[in-house]
Amino acid sequence: MLYKSLWVIDDTDINELLLSYSNIKKSYTEGSLIYQQDDVQKYLHFLISGRIKVNLIDSSGSEKTLAIHEPGSFFGETAFFDQHPSFTNAQALKDSVILFFSKDQLIKLFKDYPEIVFQVFESMGRKIRLLSFQVEYMSFLKIEQRVAVLLLSLFDSFGRKCSINSTIPSENCTYNGVCDDGQHLEINITDQEIADMIGTRREAVTKAINKLKKQKLICKHKRTICCPDLHKLNDFLSESE
């Protein structure tokens, strides 16, 4: 099963359709830059395979990860649509294949298949929601609170009931058989990526996740996270204030 990133268009038919509307397809090796800060974006990008990190690097060299993209993701929208130089970098985390869409190609695609416009803007809306969350909360909460708020935001959009296609093997699930109302995230995300998204160190995130696990607020197996009761996770935030 394909792990979802935050902005995947999870529709095989649409993905195949996009292939027929772009005449530029490029391959990038792991570590390669797709674009850099201050580059002018003449194309919108769509990831066919691989994995892409979008980040910011300030004058001191400090890095802030904004997104991790997986197959089925559009990226580079802001600089493409507003026609200003990019304020982010995009780098391949593994060997990747990317489609490039020019303005004319997108206009034709949207004219022929207007329903795809909604898919693009839904993808952008998810990004705006998460970035707004980062700005609003990250400077004011303790590390474990930041992790909890981020997880609640992800569960809100991408949670699935644990009883349906859970990717946590029963022998590894702390709550197997006792969390019928629980949810899990099928998002390919590491402690380091969570740390980059909430502005802290990986060690601090691992410690915070272990604290949430100890309180039986979440269960984590590899990169899959389960929450047996979202109300209790939300209550944790109130109790921590």
Spatial neighbors of 218 by CB under 8 A, at least 6 apart, are: 151, 209, 212, 225, 226, 227, 228, 233
Query: Letter for the amino acid at 106?
Result: L
> What is the pLDDT at residue 133?
64
pLDDT tens for 92-114 read 999 999 999 999 999 999 899 88
For the four alpha carbons of 55, 59, 61 and 62, in that order, the dihedral sign comes to: negative
pLDDT tens for 24-64 read 999 999 999 999 999 999 999 999 889 898 888 877 777 77
pLDDT tens for 160-211 read 777 655 555 555 565 555 566 688 876 667 888 788 777 788 999 999 999 9
Report DSSP state, residue 8: B
Q: At residue 113, what are phi and psi to the nearest 5 degrees?
A: -135, 75
pLDDT tens for 56-101 read 887 777 777 777 787 888 888 888 988 889 989 999 999 999 999 9
Q: Is 85 left (phi over 0), alpha (psi -120 to 50) or beta?
A: beta
pLDDT at residue 8 tops 60: no
**What is the set of domains in the chain, with CATH numbers?**
12-136 (2.60.120.10), 142-240 (1.10.10.10)
- Residue identified by tokens 């490029």 is 26
> What is the pLDDT at residue 169?
55
Say how far apart CA 5 and CA 148 lie, in whole Å.
Answer: 18
